[in-house]
Amino acid sequence: MKVLAVHPSALMYTKIYLRLEPLGLELVAQAIRQAGHAICLIDLQVETHRDYSALLRTWRPDVVAFSCNYLANVPEIVDLAKLTKDALPESFVFVGGHSASFIAEQFLEHGAGAIDCILKGEGEAFVPELLQAIEHDRTAIARVPGVVSRVGSGPPPRFVENLDAISPARDLLRHRRKYFIGVLDPCASIEFARGCPWDCSFCSAWTFYGRSYRMISPDKIVEDLARVQESGIFIVDDVAFIQGKHGMAIGEAIAKKGIKKKYYLETRGDVLLRNKDVFKFWKSLGLEYMFIGVEAIDEEGLLKHRKRISLGKNFEALEFARSLGITVAINLIADPDWDRQRFEVIRQWCLEIPEIVNISVNTPYPGTEMWLTEPRKIQSRDYRLFDIQHAVLPTTLPLPEFYEELVKTQQVLNMKHLGWRALRSTAKIAAGHLWRGQTNFVRMLWKFNSVYNPALQLADHQKLVPYELTLPPPPQQRVGHSLLYIHQSKGRQGRDIDDSTEQFVEATRMGISQ
Ligand code: B12
Ligand code: SF4
């Protein structure tokens, strides 16, 4: 069969700072290819809806598979599914990915017949089986693990048996030079491990994977890395180098192979402090940028987000990263209850530190614990506003003022790191990029005002809502974690970490799950 794999458009945040290859969809595409089907991949972050329609007309796929990791992309995908069925009524249309897994039934309803099924969980595990059912016996679709369809649902999704078995189909992307993060331009993505053993209340990374943690072997990683052409590498792991030994082994294998790249990763402050030697070694291998989810600059805020890491530890981690000469970006979560004074305190704090600060808005998502426990009433049912840049909970300030303050704060950070000031400090790098025809980084420096604008953010709330998100049930005090999981938890067995790391996680998490 001919299968077309589709990644939806970029959301607000990715229009400026970064744009990355759809690694998960590439893995699914490779599994499809290995099962003997013809595959084509289109990434709407870098191509248009017109390109998509043209592909439907010229290539006429039998099956169209959408990737939906982000809740805000749901309306776009539903509309594209409808357009697809109009153009090719015989085609089979399905959706997979992180967010699709948490709202499978609602997704089907929005599709009103245009979406044949949702495949929950890790796509590469059962996509070959689903395609076999589509080709030979459509009644078997509802028996495939992870499938939710109007004619029935299969058993719960299961993990892919061996993470080393499939490499991403990087060759299917037609515009690889469009992917970048900051000065890492161009930039490819890679995965070292999957899942997260912590259980922060605002996050669904751990609920998707049943609080498991699995690693890819250093040999496999180096084999994949050696094939990558791009000089920049974004490591997609939620928390890099939880298991220090694994990080060290990958680093040694890279050094032995003589691979020279520049890396970006995301981690926690306490992991950085626990595995200082690993991060130091990685600095020597080319680790240039690091993102630390600090989330709050007060103890109360940390407690709220269930991050059992003291402020002191976070600041110590920043200090250590600085000492290594690594550029650090941190994230803070702005709560809709912030007033003008609170924003001002944050602005002042941000100006005092050298780090890049990213501000996101506290947003409950289906699949998170917060979705079921948040006592405040959700104000919008528009999926597009659930991108952690809009306020969907009631704001203390009138909404226009909240956005004014939010954008003003982001602006302060923007002035610190974008525009002429950034170009001055990165002139050599920028010139190098332009020389090689890479324009993503330089363009990013001036795009801020066209994307971040309080009037535009406010106008987004006035838009007609084509598909309404189902609101959560009345708030609960405690949530049984098994209710949240997409992949069932295997408890301690599912976490491929040594006992001392398990104890470290236990001591720093705030949850109650198994
Ligand atoms: C890397 C990453 C990014 C990258 C995106 C890379 C890309 N182009 O896809 C960057 C940094 C750009 C990013 C940005 C954002 N992210 Co992000 N991101 C992640 C992260 C850490 C890992 C994703 C990843 O690459 N995993 C590795 C690959 C192999 O797995 P995967 O993509 O999930 O794919 C697997 C399955 O989902 C499934 N699958 C995927 N596609 C398909 C398709 C089909 C047909 C099938 C069957 C299966 C399938 O199979 C794949 C293989 O097993 C996740 C957390 C997580 N662990 O999931 C958050 C996460 C997905 N991001 C999140 C958010 C909120 C955002 C932002 C909105 C944040 C912001 N500040 O604005 C933006 C929006 C980006 C956009 N779309 O424009 C949330 C999503 C919440 C939600 N429910 O919508 C997550 C879950 C993090 C969290 N803490 O809650 N992100
Ligand atoms: S440490 Fe917390 S926020 Fe980070 S991925 Fe794990 S559960 Fe999510």
Position 352 confidence tier, pLDDT thresholds 50, 70, 90: confident
Taking the CA of residue 306 as reference, the ligand 2 atom at the shortest distance is: 2
Question: Whose alpha carbon is nearest atom 57 of ligand 1?
Answer: 205
Residue 405 in this model has a pLDDT that exceeds 90: yes
Ligand 1, atom nearest to 236 Cα: 1
At 419 the pLDDT is 46
Say what the pLDDT of residue 420 is.
Answer: 47
Task: State residue 512's pLDDT score.
Answer: 46
Spatial separation of the C-alpha atoms in residues 430 and 422, rounded to whole Å:
10
Summary mean pLDDT of the chain: 90
Lowest mean pLDDT, pick from 115-124, 126-135, 219-228, 315-324: 315-324
Closest C-alpha among 2, 17, 14 to residue 443: 17
- Which long-range CB contacts under 8 A does 142-149 form with residues at least 24 apart? 144/119, 145/121, 146/101, 146/119, 146/120, 146/121, 147/117, 147/118, 147/119, 147/120, 148/104, 148/105, 148/108, 148/117, 148/118, 148/120, 149/108, 149/116, 149/117, 149/118
Output phi, psi for 99, to 5 deg.
-70, -40
Residue 421, pLDDT above cutoff 80: no
Read off the pLDDT of each residue in 477-503 and give the average, rounded to a whole number. 93
Task: Please answer whether residues 186 and 176 qualify as being in contact, where contact means their C-beta atoms are separated by less than 8 angstroms.
Answer: yes
CA of 449 to the centre of ligand 1 (A): 25
Does ligand 1 have an atom closer than 6 angstroms to the CB of 119? yes
Q: Quick check: 488 pLDDT over 50?
A: yes
Please report which confidence band the pLDDT of residue 112 belongs to, taking 50, 70 and 90 as the band edges: very high
**Position 513 confidence tier, pLDDT thresholds 50, 70, 90:** very low
pLDDT, position 129: 98
Whether ligand 2 lies within 6 angstroms of the CB of 365 is answered as no
Q: Lowest-confidence range among 19-23, 277-281, 481-485, 495-499?
A: 481-485
Q: Whose CA is nearest to atom 55 of ligand 1?
A: 205
| Nearest ligand atom owner, CA of 23 | 1
In the structure, what pLDDT confidence band is assigned to residue 348 with cuts at 50, 70 and 90?
confident
Q: Using a 6 Å cutoff on CB, does residue 70 contact ligand 1?
A: yes
| Beta bridge partner(s), residue 87 | none
Q: Which residues pair with 330 in a beta bridge?
A: 292, 357
- pLDDT confidence bin for 264, thresholds 50/70/90: very high
pLDDT of residue 358: 80
Is any ligand 2 atom within 6 A of the Cβ of residue 374? no
pLDDT band, residue 17 (cuts 50/70/90)? confident
pLDDT digits (tens, 9 = 90+) for 51-71: 999 999 999 999 999 999 999
pLDDT at 444 over 70: no
45 CA: nearest ligand 1 atom = 78
CB 173 within 8 A of CB 21: yes
For 158-177, the pLDDT digits (tens) are 999 999 999 999 999 999 99
Task: With a cut of 90, say whether residue 189 has pLDDT above it.
Answer: yes
pLDDT of 302 above 70: no
Distance between CA atoms of 491 and 509, rounded to whole angstroms? 15
pLDDT of residue 314: 82
What letter does residue 243 receive in the DSSP assignment?
S
**Atom 5 (ligand 2) nearest CA:** 238
Asked whether residue 123 carries a pLDDT value surpassing 70, the answer given is yes
| 99 within ligand 1 shell (Cβ under 6 A) | yes
- Taking the C-alpha atoms of residue 61 and residue 65, their distance in angstroms, rounded to an integer, is 10
Strands 2-7, 18-19: pairing is unpaired
E strand or H helix at 402: helix 399-417
Confidence of residue 431 (pLDDT cuts 50, 70, 90): low
This prediction has a pTM of 0.93
For residue 120 the two structure tokens come to 């929950």
The answer, yes or no, to whether any atom of ligand 2 lies below 6 A from the CB of 239, is yes
**What pLDDT, on the 0 to 100 scale, is given for residue 101?**
98
Can you tell me the mean pLDDT for 460-473? 96
The rounded Å distance from CA 69 to ligand 1 centre is 5
Element (H, E) at 252: helix 244-257
φ, ψ at 295 (rounded to 5°): 70, -45
Whether residue 200 has its Cβ less than 6 Å from ligand 2: yes
> Is 60 exceeded by the pLDDT of residue 442?
no
